[in-house]
Chain A
Amino acid sequence: MTLEPLIDGFRLFFDVSTLLAIAFGTLVGLLIGVLPGLGPLMGIILLLPLAYHMEPVAGMGLLVSIFVAGSCGGAITAIMVRIPGTPLAAATLLDGYPMMKRGLAKEAIGTAVAASALGGIIGGLILIFLAPLLADIAIDFAPPEYFALTLTGLLTIAVVSREATVKGLMTGTLGLVLSTIGYDEFANVSRFAFGIDGLLGGINLVAMVVGIFAISEIIDQIRHGDLSAKPDVSVVRPSFSSAISTMRHWRNLVRSSVIGTGLGALPGIGGGISAFSAYAIAKSASKRPEEFGTGIADGVVATESANNATVGGTLIPTLALGIPGDASSAVLMGALILLGFFPGPGLFEKHQDIVGGIFWAYMAANVMMFFVGILLTPLFVACIKLQKRYLLPLIMVLCVMGVYSLESSVFDLWVMLVFGLVGYALRRFDYPLPPLVIGLVLGPVCEGNFRRSLIISGGHYDIFFSRPIATTIIVVNILLVLWMLIPKSLKQRVFRRLGSAASEA
């Protein structure tokens, strides 16, 4: 089963348009990662409408390569100007910037790009091996199991929001409420349309997501950013030999990549946390831990390999079970649904070629990222100097035309603008936005499977507790809720005690 998707998908992957889409996505991903304040999520959202017009594997290849390259691009800014281009690169500052200060900027960038690519490939291998196995286990799932599983996905809302659980649950629930707008296939009526034609079929997901994330980001940057800031950086040219020097840290590379993939597969963790965790473990495993933080390649290898491997890890539950772990994978899942394919065991059973094509695209994006990253570093460093007063109008045009191009609908543009204001208001009061998009994407799936289960059982709720797998997942969900209710300080105390016990052992 493991190799079948790869064999079936190669034909779809090995196509000029797909390869071009991956190369373009890699370039855009690195660029968007380099620019502070943006990140892979913004890149995916901006080019989502473009992917909608492409063949499925080419479209997903474009978005996946932005996810991959966007997770690496932030390292260049972190190393050159001590500002992480994306939150994922925050840990790379610790050794990357001191390396630059010691005159090793090209070595630091070369190591960061090579470690990201190699970490991504290791994450990809685990993805290719594990995702089909997980999908195979879930192959006999029926609506009750899917409902229980989507509940798990929804619980990630609380995990994603970490510091603001109540606010995260509020925006997540708002996403679920908004997802109920439109045609209800079970009752054969249109809900909450207020007589507006554009709402009869529901709100356009892309218009909503572009508004919530991109338009609100533009407003936020205008309101807070120094629009003419221009950091003073000099041109750097790393070499391909950095791959060899990175391989010398193979133990650290493999360990950090496995940590990144493992943590990425858990909902709500993300690249930032996995990079810091891998850094801490690399430091404690090192023979010279005192050198960490002074500008050594080991630190950069640990953080960059881990945060790119996280992308592969995140795709495992997204593709195999239809549970997105963060906002980026939720948007990727939404894109796959828009392209006509629903993530989960059914995708692996009926559309192995699409799954295989995505796997190939993911691996190719990591390889291309290495070459594009090394060759075009001078361009990316120059982009750090790009003033926001020129960048923001470009993003605005992409948002407007991207949303319009979906259905040639002016109404969608209004949706985008309204949700841009909603998104900005939520940001203004520190309401996390990722739960909103997770709620929007998972809402229809959760409600559909809930009501389908009840149709099967004739309206009896015991269907959720009479099937072993559904019951197990629901019990796990309840345990998750209980875990979230335990005060943070108590959890930290338990972890500290476990950590000291482990180190003593």
Chain B
Amino acid sequence: MSSELKARLQHSSAVAGFVLICVVIYWQCFTDLAAQDAASGGAQYNAAFVPELLSGFLIALCMLQLVRVWFGNGFRESEDTLPDELDADAPVEDAVTYEDDENFGLVLRAILCVGLIAVFILVLPYLGYYVAMPLLLIAVLVTLGSRNPLTVVALAIGLTLIVGYVFGGLLNVVLPPGFLEIEPW
């Protein structure tokens, strides 16, 4: 697949995401809001009027963007797909492959960090802030390339305590105590 076609397809998939949101809005207006008798009548009491209007406008913009992507330069704006410094004489496909290979490790790091936040949110109510946060920080620091164990552990514990004191001690936020029921402030 040529790099241009790949870029066009990628940008079209982004547009499809917008369209999908509009479809969900319409579907909810025609089912859920209609069932509650809130999707008819004048705009002032019609809960579906504004969302439908906005979704219609968004779909029109999506169509315009698709035209730009397939019949214009709307797909060229992503610097990842076609970097500015790309040599005009170099084969486009080679350059894109090289870029993808070079970034693979960084992409993996980014995915890992997002995954770690998701795991943290899942376990937070059970482990509690003072157990889950240092574990998250240790994992993130190691993922981002910190290798000195002393620095990693000291930073993780130090940050956890400082942030815990600011929110728990100064702002009186009830941080999740977890199964150990740790509430130091």
Contacts and interface: CB of A to CB of B under 8 A. Distances in A.
Interface of A: 50, 53, 164, 166-167, 169-170, 173-174, 176-177, 180, 184, 186-189, 191-192, 194, 215, 218-219, 222-224, 227-228, 388-390, 392-394, 396-398, 400-401, 404-405, 408, 410, 413-414, 417, 420-421, 425-426, 428-431, 447, 450-452, 454-455, 459
Interface string B28-65: 10001100101000111111101100110110011011
B152 to A, nearest CB: 10
A499 B101 CA distance: 49
Nearest to A178: B21
A450 B25 contact: no
Given A170-B58, A223-B110, A430 B77 contact: yes
Contacts of B55: 177
A373 B145 CA distance: 32
Contact of A219 (B43, B51, B114): B114
Contacts of A396: 113, 117, 136, 140
B50 A413 contact: no
A160 B107 CA distance: 29
B153 interface: no
B53 to A, nearest CB: 10
Contacts of B176: 410
Contact of A180 (B17, B45, B54): B54
Given A428-B80, A459-B44, A389 B58 contact: no
A408 B62 CA distance: 37
Nearest to B137: A393
Given A192-B51, A408-B173, A417-B117, A393 B159 contact: yes
Interface residues of B, number: 71
B118 interface: yes
A451 B14 contact: no
B61 A173 contact: yes
Contact of A189 (B33, B110, B118, B120): B33
Contacts of A176: 54
B144 A166 contact: no
Contacts of B6: none
Main SS of chain A's interface residues? helix
Contacts of B167: 401, 405
Contact of B124 (A177, A194, A393, A413): A413
B185 interface: no
Interface of B: 10-11, 14, 17-18, 21-22, 24-25, 28, 32-33, 36, 38, 42-48, 50-51, 54-55, 57-58, 61-62, 64-65, 68, 74, 77-80, 103, 106-107, 109-110, 113-114, 117-118, 120-121, 124-125, 129, 133, 136-137, 140-141, 144-146, 155, 159-160, 163, 166-167, 171-176
4 A-B pairs closest in CB distance: A187-B47, A454-B44, A459-B42, A389-B144
Contacts of A169: 61
Given A192-B32, A389-B141, A408-B173, 4 more contacts: A180-B50, A186-B45, A390-B155, A396-B117
B54 A389 contact: no
Given A169-B61, A417-B117, A189 B11 contact: no
A332 to B, nearest CB: 20
Contacts of A392: 140, 144
B144 A177 contact: no
Contacts of B47: 184, 186-187, 189, 191
Contacts of B32: 192
Among B32, B36, B47: residue with most chain A CB under 10 A: B47
A6 B88 CA distance: 60
Max chain B C-beta neighbours (<10 A), residue from A222, A388, A410, A428: A222
B42 A164 contact: no
A187 B38 contact: yes
Contacts of A187: 38, 45-47
Contacts of A420: 114
A431 B78 CA distance: 9
